[in-house]
Structure 1
Amino acid sequence: MAGLIVRMLCGCGVLAAPALAATEIVVATVNNEHMIEMQRLTPHFERANPDLRVRWVTLEEGLLRQRVATDIARGSSRYDVLTIGMYETQVWGRQGRLRPLDPPPSYDVYDLLPAIRSGLSISGRLYAAPFYGESSMLMYRRDLTERAGITLPERPTWRQVRDAAERLHDPKAGVYGICLRGKPGWGDNMALVSTMVNGFGGQWFGMDWRPQLQSKPWRDAVSLYVELLTRWGPPGSAANSYNELLTLFRAGRCALWVDATIAAGFVSDPVGSSVAGRVAFAQAPYSVTPQGASWLWAWSLAVPASSTHPAEARRFVTWATSREYTALVARERGWGAVPTGTRRSTYANPEFQRVAGHFASAEKKALDGISLVEGALPDRPYQGIQYVAIPEFQNIGVATGQQIAAALLGRASVEQALRAAQAAADREMRAAGYYGR
């Protein structure tokens, strides 16, 4: 009788089961083109996983790092998936703030390039999955160098780059000799400056962990960096990082650009690049040694220990960094738009080679010739190339970047900037107990 009353009240023969609400996972990411494309393609993931919905929080690189670092320190559950790099993976993974991913066999961890896999692993377990990987290299306008009679070798010296920048600088024609990162930040201007220091034979710390920022390699590298940008760089260089420089280069405003290998696909794409077909690629410049003269990085997806939906978050991370995702981008946008620097299978694909062969070989050579333990000539106590894999480095790198930006703006001499950076680094290391107070 009770069942009959219920059926009469609902106006149906059988009560409909309530629909289960989809679980929402929140992904924090950076505002670059590959990540924006991932957001556009997320409905494919949601259709294949109808029990999940993805909400995006997209931030400028510096703000992303600040927000994510704050959440990690507080153990906040605001985000289920974080976009981080190798530095955060090594530091936070060892602190127990990230969950190991342990992807299924179908993911094929060993398809990942060895340097990338090593940089995102701790004791053989993957703690972040690479969305795209990168080293650094020189991109230059082949049409301009040929017209000027300039020949750049496969791996040029910084002296050769300086001379080419001077000769190619033509601001009246709207072309600047060289474009380099100037925006202060440990992952902005210091990503480049650190590799310049390495290439001059320097390092961040000696074996006793004392900062080396007033050493001759630092003075030589930073002096050249300031000279390049103040004499032959675009106006306002102290505000430029990757996104701004990519825009300038694609618009034909830069003759030379040393930056992330991932940019090669964008500057080579006729859709959006006015210089497509006129760009050549070389390995990152050096001075004394090529060791550590190019960086190693991967924008990667990780699951914080504080996530309230770790299994669902791992499912998304596995999808977004899989070979299947690469194939999806190729179908939707073409092989020239796929995220690179992560998988052997991408570089072995004939379709990718056909579209990207002119830059892919230089990109893969840069990634194959580097590792986290590679540094400059002197011995050193730390891992990392353009960063130092210790928690204190973030503050030290930011402070140093600000001082070098001050030198670039003419507010301090190189000597004054490095003296102030040395003092700040020394205070940080003493406070952390690396050596006596």
Structure 2
Amino acid sequence: MRTQSRRRPPRATLALAAVGTLLAPLLSGCWVGAGGAGSGGNSINVLMVNNPQMVELQKLAPHFTKETGIKVNFTVLPENDVRDKISQDFANQAGQYDVATLSNYEIPIYARNGWLHEMDSYVAKDPAYDEQDILKPMRESLTADDGKLYGQPFYGESSFLMYRKDVLAAKGLTMPAHPTWTQVADIAAKVDGAQSGMKGICLRGLPGWGELMAPLTTVVNTFGGTWFTKDWKAQLDSPAFEQATKFYVDLVRKHGESGAAQSGFAECLNNITQSKVAMWYDATSAAGSLEAKGSPVKGKIGYVPAPVEKTDSSGWLYTWAWGIQKASHNSDKAWKFVSWASSKEYEQLVGETDGWANVPAGKRASTYTNPEYVKEAAAFQEQTKEAIEGAKPNDPGVQPRPAPGIQFVDIPEFTDLGTKVSQEISSAIAGRQSVDSALKKSQKLAEKISKEYEGR
């Protein structure tokens, strides 16, 4: 079972809350269910996010089909879009998709609501998969309250700071081994304009609970803030939350990428790859793309732990994992795909085909003892493993929390709350309102959640 301890509302309450939040697009008439239509015969339907590692998976899927005879039909969408579509199909149990990419935020919630197929029975019959090789933080984060596994990680990640070593060196600057955010802001100002068209840093500003709010919440944590106190008092207008948000917004407005209010993970990855920014704070999984064959910045990037202020660490814990829909009529075939896509053999295929630096790592202990991977991913592999193992989902800040989570609050309502708050803060990044105004509105949104949870 997950080791996280929390005071949780009754199971039925959570189920209703999740359905209310996740079915909003359905109730508004924006989507019509598939009526149970889905994959059939010897094929499965997979819905996944458009991150580089998934795009590579799509290219390599013919190897799976050749081995098993199972055809895979992919639907690939940007992060915010894929989350909406997954919640619609799985909450409705439409069965249109057999497998989807879900995170360690959604999987425990979806499992409680009966939307996912458990995987323990498949793991027990498939010893070659080697479940114990999956890193413990990942196994725990994909295990629900009933002690059963409901997901398998495609890759795992924490967060760290990536920076152009050559740009800092040309300016006579040295990146601290464990930087503070104050130091990072100072460096960003000094390297802003170091090359033609180059800004100091890239930080996500794209609305979305899994976009802007992921890095910002880690900044809030280390500045001493929190979304809620241990007794569910909303804290978005607290001095620490306000200080952290103003710091983040000011930094990206002064020294961040152009179009920051519409920049997410993909846009920042492009910016640093194209030498439009000198630094980037984001997911450790990005390093594989930066160090991949053909990357114009391969060998030029340095990697240090997530910046801090009042905490010893601030990196998040996250995995894009595979979940099998309970309504799938092809769960056995779906497991074959899931086990292949999360296997040691798939990592070997990526290493041989696309280079070992591009392996979807962060999930298996054996990856970090593989000589080929360790050699090619030398620039970042140790920092990534340390960040994942050092993440503290139960204790990410300076005060007790009512629910686990580093870059999110592990309650069903956070998808809606986090997204709405992100829209307000993104508006501040765009200069359309002040941070004070954004947080005043956000506090009112969070107080509605407080009323639901206080006293439980």
Fold match (TM-score > 0.5): yes
Q: Which of 241, 256, 260 is 1:237 aligned to?
A: 260
Per the TM alignment, residue 320 of structure 1 is displaced from its structure 2 partner at its CA by: 0.7
**2:299 aligned with 1:310, yes or no?**
no
Contact 1:22 1:53 in 2 (8 A): no
Instruction: Give the letter for the 1:118 counterpart.
Output: E
Instruction: Give the letter for the 1:132 counterpart.
Output: Y
**2:206 aligned with 1:166, yes or no?**
no
Look up the match of 1:186: 209
Q: Which of 127, 138, 156 is 2:179 aligned to?
A: 156
Contact 2:395 2:401 in 1 (8 A): no
Q: Which of 250, 255, 267 is 2:290 aligned to?
A: 267
Q: Using the alignment, how far apart are the partners of 2:183 and 2:195 within structure 1?
A: 23
Q: Using the alignment, how far apart are the partners of 2:448 and 2:195 within structure 1?
A: 46
Contact 2:44 2:330 in 1 (8 A): yes
**2:144 aligned with 1:125, yes or no?**
no
Deviations 1:289-311 (A, max 9, x none): 134x1111111111011212111
**2:343 aligned with 1:325, yes or no?**
no
**2:236 aligned with 1:213, yes or no?**
yes
Q: Using the alignment, how far apart are the partners of 1:57 and 1:209 within structure 2?
A: 38
For normalisation by structure 2, the TM-score amounts to 0.87
SS in 1 for 2:278: strand
Q: How does 1:288-299 map to 2 (within 5 A)?
A: 288-291=310-313, 293-299=314-320
Q: Which of 88, 92, 104 is 1:70 aligned to?
A: 88
SS in 2 for 1:167: helix
Distance 1:269 1:48, change over 3 A: closer
Look up the match of 2:135: 113
SS in 2 for 1:25: strand
Q: Which of 93, 114, 117 is 1:99 aligned to?
A: 117
Contact 2:291 2:358 in 1 (8 A): no
Per the TM alignment, residue 22 of structure 1 is displaced from its structure 2 partner at its CA by: 4.0
**2:412 aligned with 1:391, yes or no?**
yes
For normalisation by structure 1, the TM-score amounts to 0.91
Q: Which of 105, 111, 114 is 1:87 aligned to?
A: 105
Q: Using the alignment, how far apart are the partners of 1:265 and 1:47 within structure 2?
A: 27
**2:71 aligned with 1:49, yes or no?**
no
Look up the match of 1:16: none
Q: Which moved more, 1:304-313 or 1:294-303?
A: 304-313
Contact 1:113 1:342 in 2 (8 A): yes
Q: Using the alignment, how far apart are the partners of 1:82 and 1:343 within structure 2?
A: 20
SS in 2 for 1:98: coil
Unaligned runs of 5+ in 1: 1-20
Look up the match of 2:308: 286
Q: Which moved more, 1:134-143 or 1:407-416?
A: 407-416
Q: Using the alignment, how far apart are the partners of 1:125 and 1:74 within structure 2?
A: 22
Q: Using the alignment, how far apart are the partners of 2:150 and 2:91 within structure 1?
A: 17
Q: Using the alignment, how far apart are the partners of 1:40 and 1:429 within structure 2?
A: 45
Deviations 1:245-269 (A, max 9, x none): 1011011111110001011121122
Instruction: Give the letter for the 1:143 counterpart.
Output: D
Contact 2:167 2:194 in 1 (8 A): no
Contact 1:100 1:127 in 2 (8 A): yes
Look up the match of 2:427: 406
Q: Using the alignment, how far apart are the partners of 1:298 and 1:172 within structure 2?
A: 35
Instruction: Give the letter for the 1:76 counterpart.
Output: A
Q: Which of 408, 413, 417 is 2:438 aligned to?
A: 417
Q: Which of 39, 49, 56 is 2:58 aligned to?
A: 39
Q: How does 1:363-382 map to 2 (within 5 A)?
A: 363-382=384-403
Per the TM alignment, residue 148 of structure 1 is displaced from its structure 2 partner at its CA by: 1.6
SS in 1 for 2:90: helix
**2:278 aligned with 1:255, yes or no?**
yes
Q: Using the alignment, how far apart are the partners of 1:97 and 1:371 within structure 2?
A: 27
Per the TM alignment, residue 371 of structure 1 is displaced from its structure 2 partner at its CA by: 3.7
Q: Using the alignment, how far apart are the partners of 1:189 and 1:339 within structure 2?
A: 23
Q: Percent identity?
A: 40
**2:137 aligned with 1:137, yes or no?**
no
Look up the match of 1:340: 361
Per the TM alignment, residue 372 of structure 1 is displaced from its structure 2 partner at its CA by: 2.6
Per the TM alignment, residue 204 of structure 1 is displaced from its structure 2 partner at its CA by: 1.2
Deviations 1:53-72 (A, max 9, x none): 21111111100000111122
Per the TM alignment, residue 210 of structure 1 is displaced from its structure 2 partner at its CA by: 2.3
Matched residue count:
411
Structure of larger gyration radius? 1
Unaligned runs of 5+ in 2: 1-39
Distance 1:95 1:69, change over 3 A: same
Q: Which moved more, 1:367-376 or 1:27-36?
A: 367-376
Q: Which moved more, 1:372-381 or 1:275-284?
A: 372-381
Contact 2:293 2:355 in 1 (8 A): no
Look up the match of 1:3: none
Look up the match of 2:299: 277
Contact 1:184 1:398 in 2 (8 A): yes
Q: Using the alignment, how far apart are the partners of 1:152 and 1:320 within structure 2?
A: 37
